[in-house]
Structure 1
Amino acid sequence: MIEISMLTRRLAFSATLAALCLGGCAGVPQPAPAATARVWMTSGDRSRLLSEQPALVFRAAAGADGPVIAVDPAVQYQTMVGFGAAVTDASAWLIQTKMTPSARDALIRDLFGREDGGLGFSFTRVTIGASDFSLDHYSLADTPDPDLAGFSTARMEQYVFPTVRQALAVNPDLKVMASPWSAPGWMKTTGSMIQGQLKPEYYGTYADYLARYVRSAADHGVPTDYLSIQNEPDFEPDSYPGMRWGPEGRAEFIGRNLGPRFRAAGIGTRILDWDHNWDHPEQPLGVLADPVANAHVAGVAWHCYAGDVAAQSQVRDVHPDKDVFFTECSGGNWAADFSDSFSWTMKALIIGSTDHWARGVLMWNLALDENHGPHAGGCGDCRGVVTIDSRTGAVERNQEYYAFGHASRFVRPGARRVSSLEPEGLQGVAFVNPDGERVLIVLNEAVTPVSFSIREAGRQASAILPARTAATYVWRGP
């Protein structure tokens, strides 16, 4: 009787200890917690806007039962720099002059921070001098002088540099790209910042101009991690700064002027070619075919306004040592429907561009006002990632905000794109963050829901993606 009583007490004590140790006690075996994936969705009808949904539970894979998205972190591709939008003159002016300090700080934290649901933008672009989204047309050296005695970044120091510095303070991982829309007019065949070409006799002067910009920006707390030598070099706009520059001239300038100038000055800024649409891959291929220029080109930048995103892979297949960046696309009134433009942005930019090797993905204006400006020529119906009411400072978050948020909030700098195989009817892309966290972004363009499973390493989770909806799934590895 004594032995039975002692055994009963021991069993009762063990049961009590196990109950008290649900959080984990040394020496007491606990069942492994079920692995889960957190889920965020945005729907075309706006019923969900980057809103968190019930988590999915991973279970042992039980064979194929319906469509499957297979994620394989062992098959890795490019390392990500990040996602974001351009701090144009217009965007910076609105943020700095049309918002109260507290509202400005809140917007910068929302766009560039990660706390409290911020988007975590880690890539941005600035214009060297004026673009169409400036208050007026200017260069950094408007007075003709081959020695650039009048060179100054004072205009950029007013609004652009302070905005970028605030973003860097919120997100020190932020990488900055810079692009000129035109050389100073006196260096060009038209004598104007509008239309024309850079005269070859000014190649050396213009290389010095860009080197001075990089140094001055750094002196004002704005690094230049990447630089393209010309925005859209196959286009001469008739109402705002621009400059046509063929591949032979760009190769000559990069290989025999700018590249050596940067190297001699110890400037580590990486040079990108093209910075234009998907429809002319032969243009960057022409530059990269020049062995002297090739040695100084770090990668190729692309825009969305013509052609197909597959051009990014077409060039990279020939030059796998060169980086790929997607650096401009704008929403606008030509694509006013939230559902359609949200789905297109997800498909072409967030999924398509990264699936075709982009390390960084950028929208055009970070912010515009209720009148699609301010702008000096050019696009009269473009849309920013956010709209700032110039009368009240109120902020409206547009479809591009939510599309980019599905990636930028979750895919960290240094993440690797990894293999993901999507069934017919779904489009997606997957990443592994530096800490091992998995991120899967999926789009359902159909008008009916789709049921599927996410599978990785012998386990799977069942999911339902509503019609016209994108989702981001985040989970830990096995």
Structure 2
Amino acid sequence: MSRRITTFARRALVIGLALGAAACAGAPAEPVARVWMTSGDRSRLLSEQAPLRFEPSSAATGPAVAIDPRRQFQEMVGFGAAVTDASAYLIQTKLADDQRDALLRELFGREDGGLGFSFTRVTIGASDFSLDHYSLADTPDPTLASFSTARMEEYVFPTVRQAVAINPDLKVMASPWSAPGWMKTTGSMIQGQLKPEFYPTYAEYFRRYIDSAAAQGVPTDYVSIQNEPDFEPDSYPGMRWGPEGRAAFVGQHLGPLFRDAGIGTKILDWDHNWDLPQQPLTMLADERARSFTAGVAWHCYGGDVSAQSQVHDAWPDKDVFFTECSGGEWTPDFAESFTWTMKNLIIGSTEHWARGVLMWNLALDENYGPHAGGCGNCRGVVKIDSRTGAIERNQEYYAFGHASRFVRPGARRVATAEPEGLQAVAFLNPDGERVLIVLNESAAAVAFEIREGLRAAAAELPAQTAATYVWGPAG
């Protein structure tokens, strides 16, 4: 037998001696990872599995998902869904008090397996998911004498207030679908553009909304100036607003007004699809507008999630948020839509710098409503049966739960490396806890290692299954 010791054997000997010495000195035990899985066949639905134990390991012997907590990226705001008029109406009118409390604690709380949603969105006035079309100042008057948030005080504000009481970390974003019709070229909330002479009035409209919401106990942490500004829907409120016009509005009106009024609400541009990154790039090229713009918001209905990185790379000091995507009966198959959501939103959008990730409606009824125009087969994160109050948890509930339940506000995304066939993203919680989310969208199970430094845990992920692994540093 050769007297030569191979490089691998020499490394193993050194590691073994070091570990032996550490054990003798009472070294801390290697961590144990808790595991939750959801499978496309619904055999597991955020179900806790047997834990995995990390063991000392010098090098991967097969496929491995590795995390490096030393390489840190964006700080997370959180995950959630929009409290639309429709969602709030159902929660407030179709559930008994105890049912309402239980559902909101399940969605926004962390106790007893709650999802811990810490990010939400409300509409300033009506969207397609409202009972009817309205603005907050329907009477033509540049002094905004008729301004009122009374309609939002019926259902939306009480729902958000209760969510904030359950989760004080909850951050709220607000978006209008249209300016009041009398400010627009169509004279209607449907289609048209905002007339430039009303830019100062519309900036004041935003200020009054923020002040009125605050008086009702509803914060406005972020605001986008227009939902989907490159689209003019023909059956519900909407408004086309090009990047040059948005830049003029933010740079010359809204931004200075917020500054002078001491309003800390952060302004987001775009709030539309991945397929037109040149739109926010054009808006941000305006120096004055850029100085008042905190970041860019994105939707999923066109293009590829990598557009988020394209704009982030151009303006790395600007935040990235993913603010709308809806499930729907165009993809009724649980496995297909669950894995798509995991791949593109939970993993994809955060890997491409999103600090917050939102689905569209928090809740809809058995008829995919109520709605006034627009989508007739969209899914909510949960379904509330308007006749019985029964709750059904949809695929988006489980996809978002894989992140929201475990990734705390203030967590940092950290570097990962994964083998072909798996997608992964990882976070470091403020207390040092590691959270790793892995998706196997293939038709066969995959065995792999989870690695952090010189330790590894053996894992296996069934076909069309996502898992969240949670562990602490060696303790």
User: 1:141 aligns to what?
Assistant: 137
Counterpart of 2:402 in 1: which secondary structure? helix
Tell me the distance in 1 between the aligned counterparts of 2:47 and 2:229.
40
Whether 2:350 is the aligned partner of 1:343: answer no
| Corresponding residue number in structure 2 for 1:384 | 380
CA distance, structure 2, for counterparts of residue 287 and residue 296 of structure 1 = 11
Q: What is the CA-CA distance between 1:70 and the residue it aligns to?
A: 1.0
Unaligned runs of 5+ in 1: 1-27
Structure 2 unaligned segments of length 5 or more: list them. 1-23
Aligned residues: 451
Secondary structure in 1 matching 2:207: helix
Give, in whole Å, the separation in 2 of the partners of 1:380 and 1:35.
48
Q: Distance in 2 between matches of 1:173 and 1:127?
A: 20
Aligned pair 1:449/2:445, yes or no?
yes
Q: Map Cα deviations across residues 163-216 of structure 1 (whole Å, 9 max, x no partner).
A: 000000000000000000000000000000000000000000000001100000
Question: Is 1:183 paired with 2:154?
Answer: no
Match of 1:472 among 460, 468, 472: 468
The alpha-carbon deviation at position 62 of structure 1 amounts to: 4.0
Does 1:318 find its partner at 2:314? Answer: yes
Correspondence 1:60-459 to 2 at 5 A = 60-459=56-455
Deviation at 1:35, TM superposition (A): 1.6
Deviation at 1:34, TM superposition (A): 4.0
Q: Which residue does 1:5 correspond to in 2?
A: none
Amino acid at match of 2:260: A
Distance, in Å, in 2 between the alignment partners of 1:264 and 1:446 is 54
Equivalent position SS for 1:206: helix
SS of match in other structure, 1:286: helix
- Cα separation, 1, equivalents of 2:248 and 2:314: 21
Q: Distance in 1 between matches of 2:74 and 2:261?
A: 29
Q: Give the TM-score taking structure 2 as reference length.
A: 0.94
- Distance, in Å, in 1 between the alignment partners of 2:282 and 2:310 is 13
- Identity across aligned pairs (percent)? 77
Give the alignment partner of residue 43 of structure 1, picking from 32, 39, 43: 39
Q: Deviations over 1:248-287 (max 9, x none)?
A: 0000000000000111111000000000000000000000
Q: Which segment drifts farther, 114-123 or 451-460?
A: 451-460
Aligned to 1:10: none
- CA distance in 2 between counterparts of 1:190 and 1:31 reads 72
Deviation track 1:119-167 (CA, whole Å, cap 9, x = no partner) reads 0000000000000000000000000000000100000000000000000
Counterpart CA distance in 1 for 2:93 and 2:296 is: 35
Shift of the alpha carbon at 1:227? 0.1
Structure 2 residue matching 1:230: 3-state secondary structure:
coil
Structure 1 letter corresponding to 2:444: T
The answer as to 2:11 corresponding to 1:53 is no
Q: Separation in 2 of the partners of 1:400 and 1:70?
A: 27
Higher mean Cα deviation, 62-71 or 142-151?
A: 62-71
**Amino acid in structure 2 at the alignment position of 1:247:** P
Rounded Cα–Cα distance in structure 2 between residues aligned with 1:36 and 1:420: 19
Mapped to 2, the partners of 1:258 and 1:62 lie a distance apart of 56
Which protein shows a greater Rg?
1
Instruction: Give the alignment's TM-score, normalised by structure 1.
Output: 0.94
Give 3-state SS (helix, strand or coil) of 1:334's partner. coil
Aligned position for 1:19? none
Secondary structure of the structure 2 residue equivalent to 1:70: strand
